[in-house]
């Protein structure tokens, strides 16, 4: 539902200057129809005032074919978003598996106890062997 700037000030509790400043800076978007109430909720949170009868009277009515085309567009958009969500879930699963793999690799490297080095017996020189004829 689209509202005027004056109606937006009542719904949000913000001043006219604040709303026009937010429109000019791009924080709040406005179309030829006015400001969408969903946009007001996105920027300012819950609305302060409920819509009164005069606001409801100013809302333009749409014919059935227009509503049907909107519903069809919304349904296709929902399906596209569901497909994108599924792709993102798969990507998150792959990232988690990869993180688990590398975490396991790091754990194996950090907890590996290398074999103690072999202590070699000091060998006597070959001269000793030649002189005495025996190995040590």
What average pLDDT score do residues 2-31 get? 90
Instruction: Delimit the domains of the chain by residue range.
Output: 2-58, 62-103
Tokens of 57: 């009277």
Q: What is the pLDDT of residues 47-87, one digit of tens each?
A: 875 444 344 444 445 556 667 777 787 888 888 888 899 89
Angle between the 16-25 and 5-12 helix axes, to the nearest 10 degrees? 110
The DSSP output letter for 2 is: E
């Amino acid at each position: 539902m689209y509202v005027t700037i004056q109606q937006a000030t009542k719904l949000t509790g913000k001043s006219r200057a604040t709303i026009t400043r937010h429109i000019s800076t791009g924080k709040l978007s406005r179309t030829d129809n006015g400001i969408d109430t969903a946009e007001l909720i996105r920027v300012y949170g819950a609305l302060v005032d409920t819509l009164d009868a005069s606001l409801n009277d100013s809302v333009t009515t749409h014919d059935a074919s227009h509503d049907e085309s909107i519903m069809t567009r919304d349904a296709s958009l929902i399906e596209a978003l569901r497909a994108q969500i599924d792709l993102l879930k798969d990507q998150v699963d792959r990232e988690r598996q990869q993180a688990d793999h590398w975490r396991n690799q790091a754990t194996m490297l950090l907890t590996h106890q290398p074999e103690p080095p072999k202590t070699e017996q000091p060998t006597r020189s070959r001269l000793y062997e030649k002189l005495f004829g025996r190995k040590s």
